[in-house]
Structure 1
Amino acid sequence: MTAPMPSDPRSTVPVLHSTKRTTVLRPPTATREGVGEFEYTDRYSVFHYGPMPDAIPGKGEAACRMAVFNFALLEEAGVRTHFRRQSTPNRIEFSLARLPETLDHPPTPQSGNYLLPLQVLFRNELPPGSSVHRRLASGDLSPADLGLDAVPAVGERLPQPTIEYATTREPVNRFLTRADAQRLSGLDDRLFRVLRESTIAVNGVLSDHAAGVGLNHCDGKTEFLVTGNQELLLADSPGTPDESRLMFDGVHCGKQILRDWYVRSGNEVPVGRLIADGVPRRQWPQPASLPPAFVPAMTNLYQALCERWTGEHHWNAPSLEAATRAVRALTEE
């Protein structure tokens, strides 16, 4: 579980599963948001393990530039966000809220600003790799939960987007019922309704933009903070490859490619089982490194995706068509 925000104004805050480094520039208080800085690193994370062994050069800057673009897009659409400014090619400053000290007694908006220990997940379609297929097969989810009459096919587009809730500050995040999500968030009925409506709006803006540049925005998630004025601000980095599942011509444009290689090669790290068995993290096996050819191919993919998404050109990146063809060839070997 993540610790409360430290008082050192330049301290770095560890975040489970995240490949962004968070630095506190000005600590938050109960009545005033602080200022934080995200450094988007070149690391990636799969299986809830945390940062994996390999770096993907250029990934961090590509994700940062996409995040900055998305914040502007969403603000223009009327979605308020925590974004303040881009400070370097791979860093942004943002409004920083406090982390609840315990999940046993959630705060309320009246107690001052805080980051909701909750993520809201939306799904537009169910491509290969979606956890929905596994959950349907195990009985943890039913077609009715998705508004369907039968088990959907892989790749099926849903008749309308679905909304789910999950924790964010546990070793392996759990799906939550709507009632449990509202209790954990500490929000009253009005603000919890705003949370849902804002997520639907975010999905709509990002999905429309994706379609306009030839991509499928299959699913994603949002996180929010509550301000000292009891208003919601969109947090984290929606619409980036680490937060959304983007596909181009049937090819994943993100870490699903790497997750699939680990599973296919028999190198998956069984984090859930390790946690259930009480194995200390220091005793977890070190993940295998990627085959060498994957790293430059993924660099090209992230940079090509960023340039297609933003319309800006910062690298000598291949086209997204060429980058996805190269990745497809690797995964079919």
Structure 2
Amino acid sequence: MPVLHSTKRTTVLRAPTADREGIGEFEYTDRYSVFHYGPMPDAIPGKSEAACRMAVFNFQLLEAAGVPTHFLRQSAPNRIQFTLARLPETLDHPLTPERGNYLLPLQVLFRNELPPGNSVHRRLASGDLRPVDLGLDAVPAVGERPPRPTIEYATTREPVNRFLTPADAQLLSGLDDRLFGALSETTTAVNTVLSDHAAAVGINHCDGKTEFLVTGNQDLLLDSPGTPDESRLMFDGVHCGKQILRDWYVRSGNEVPVGQLLADGVPRHQWPRPAPLPPAFVSVMSDLYRALCERWTGERHWNAPDLATATRAVRALTEE
């Protein structure tokens, strides 16, 4: 199993077994990741608490709408406790629901809009994806809103996630037809709840993803809510998340070619160190994450600018 490099830290408080779910604790950090590199050089002050508070809000919102989640409680401003499941030992022989308490090595992606920066247009241009694969009749324009949300599947426990056909996704998940069907049905429900809330606070919920664990009772529990790390959120045409940072790396010629490094077999410890962000980006992004959290949750925790002011600062910085 590859070593994964996350911007969250996980502590096992009670280990899961085949007969009983465990308890874990997530510590959200101020780090971010782009290009599947893992944590980048800079920290964004306030990102951890903003993301955690949005996650808690979303878990509570979803559970009130009847979506079961793995959330147990918020244990600190930037930490949550959650139901912990086992990890499959190998992707070649995934666990099955009958064995119980395991995390699916799979994510379900949904798209409501196709703004600049999404992967769909790149994959359509390369031939890796066809419009019919998304239920579309033709190649969509950048910024287009499909007539209905599209759903795709991808791996999660690989150095670079791969998109999967529904058949391959079901095989990888080890789920029967009933539970695999429930993946897309629950994802649709999650998308509806989060998108409705986003619209109510003036934010576009362009796309996102869900991940799940399977309990010993063969039920699905959601373990991924719509924070800026999981969802593409936009306000007044401005990205409210790490797409801003990804775009800077690409425009400045500092993109890290992770895919090529992996294809060439370069050990991770020999990868080039990413360039640090220009200092102005750190303070602007710090304000943006805090402003987004306060707009999303309706709670004031910082002396942050409002979201309109924060996104104007992003626009001014990125259009220089």
Asked if TM exceeds 0.5, the reply is yes
Inter-partner Cα distance in structure 2 for 1:21 and 1:177:
31
Partner of 1:10: none
Partner of 1:95: 83
Partner of 1:184: 172
Which amino acid letter does the alignment assign opposite residue 262 of structure 2? I
Count of residues in Structure 1 that have an aligned counterpart in Structure 2: 320
Give 1:107 deviation, angstroms.
Answer: 1.2
Partner of 1:48: 36
Inter-partner Cα distance in structure 1 for 2:35 and 2:291:
25
Q: 1:23 aligns with which of 8, 11, 29?
A: 11
Partner of 1:7: none
Task: Give structure 2 stretches of 5+ with no counterpart.
Answer: none
The 3 A distance-change label for structure 1 pair 17 and 124 is farther
The alignment status of 1:153 with 2:141, answered yes or no, reads yes
Matched residue of 1:221: which SS?
strand
Residues 233-278 of structure 1 show CA distances to partners (whole Å, capped at 9, x for unaligned) of 0013x11000000000000000000000000000000000000000
Residues 210-240 of structure 1 show CA distances to partners (whole Å, capped at 9, x for unaligned) of 000000000000000000111100013x110
Which amino acid letter does the alignment assign opposite residue 190 of structure 1? R
Inter-partner Cα distance in structure 2 for 1:39 and 1:158:
36
Give 1:17 deviation, angstroms.
Answer: 4.4
For residues 124-273 of structure 1, the aligned pairs below 5 Å read 124-236=112-224, 238-273=225-260
Tell me the TM-score normalized by structure 2: 0.99
Inter-partner Cα distance in structure 2 for 1:151 and 1:302:
33
Give 1:150 deviation, angstroms.
Answer: 2.1
Which amino acid letter does the alignment assign opposite residue 295 of structure 1? V
Give 1:294 deviation, angstroms.
Answer: 0.2
Partner of 1:281: 268
Which amino acid letter does the alignment assign opposite residue 43 of structure 1? R
Give 1:146 deviation, angstroms.
Answer: 2.3
Give 1:106 deviation, angstroms.
Answer: 1.2
The 3 A distance-change label for structure 1 pair 17 and 211 is farther
Tell me the TM-score normalized by structure 1: 0.95
Pick which of 116-125 and 149-158 moved more: 149-158
State the percentage of identical aligned residues: 85
Q: 1:301 aligns with which of 284, 288, 298?
A: 288
Inter-partner Cα distance in structure 1 for 2:272 and 2:6:
19
> What CA RMSD, in Å, does the superposition of the two structures yield over aligned residues?
0.8
Partner of 1:105: 93
Matched residue of 2:137: which SS?
coil
Give 1:180 deviation, angstroms.
Answer: 0.6
Inter-partner Cα distance in structure 2 for 1:265 and 1:34:
44
Partner of 2:64: 76
Q: 1:116 aligns with which of 88, 95, 104?
A: 104
Inter-partner Cα distance in structure 2 for 1:17 and 1:304:
27
Give 1:148 deviation, angstroms.
Answer: 2.3
Partner of 1:330: 317
Partner of 2:302: 315
Residues 24-81 of structure 1 show CA distances to partners (whole Å, capped at 9, x for unaligned) of 0110010100000000000000000000000000000000000000000000000000
Which amino acid letter does the alignment assign opposite residue 200 of structure 1? T
Inter-partner Cα distance in structure 2 for 1:126 and 1:176:
19
Matched residue of 2:146: which SS?
strand
Give 1:195 deviation, angstroms.
Answer: 1.0
Inter-partner Cα distance in structure 1 for 2:83 and 2:56:
14
Partner of 1:9: none
Matched residue of 2:312: which SS?
helix
Inter-partner Cα distance in structure 2 for 1:298 and 1:200:
30
